Amino acid sequence: MKSYKIPEATIARLSVYSRYLSKVEQQGLELISSGEIAEGSGVSPAHVRKDLAYFGEFGTRGVGYNVKELHRHILKILGLDLKWKVVIVGVGHLGTALAMYRGFRDRKFEIVSLFDVDESKFGKVYEGIEVKPFNDLEKIIKEENVDIGIITTPTSSAQSVADIFVNSGIKAILNFAPCVLNVPYNIELRNVDLAVNLEVLTFNIASKQKK
């Protein structure tokens, strides 16, 4: 399975499909068509067919896909047959929102701790996750064998947080600070720029108006 050659947009949509499959599997549905997956996950039928084609024959023409098999297969592709430990650094509104985000805990993500430099936040607990002193970050990542670090600090601190992540053996970084981070090539880095989402919308509106 050369899954590492799959385009990132497909991976992102697989993640969306799998959430819908999880829901219908819980409801006891056994078979599903690509059209139903498309409708239920808000993706175009053409995209669904194209994406699922990466994984060979999982469905039967005219019958549909076996929900359980397809769901399990997608989870495995996404690496969600494994458990992942996560830390969040920066306990502002965004860090708190992520800690409490149901989408993380519904999957295989275990948020080990939140970290901040602000003493007044130490010991606070969000959905069972405690805020710990930033100084303990490296120690806890190593002790707990944390896989993924999320950065929700101000831009000025983001690189130094990334450096600690790298030195402590973290495998991947999700960065919400609006800046470019330098990390070694073997670290998976993903930057999330929330303004991009708005700008894809304005592009679409503006394009329609120009037509």
Q: Which residues bind a second copy (CB under 8 A)?
A: 1, 3-4, 8-9, 11-12, 14-16, 19-20, 39-42, 77-80, 82, 84, 86, 92-94, 96-98, 100-104, 106-109, 147-148, 171-172, 174, 178, 180-181, 188-208, 210-211
- 33 contacts: CB under 8 Å, gap ≥ 6: 59, 64, 65
**91 is known to lie in a ligand binding site:** yes
> Closest approach of Cβ 183 to a second copy, in Å?
10
Whether 201 and 179 have beta carbons less than 8 Å apart is answered as no
Check the CA dihedral 22-24-30-32 and report its sign: negative
> Closest approach of Cβ 28 to a second copy, in Å?
20
Q: Which two tokens stand for residue 182?
A: 């330098």
Q: Which two tokens stand for residue 38?
A: 């498309």
The nearer residue to a second copy, 60 or 101, going by C-beta atoms, is 101
The nearer residue to a second copy, 53 or 201, going by C-beta atoms, is 201
> Closest approach of Cβ 135 to a second copy, in Å?
25
Phi, psi of 183 (to 5 degrees): -135, 155
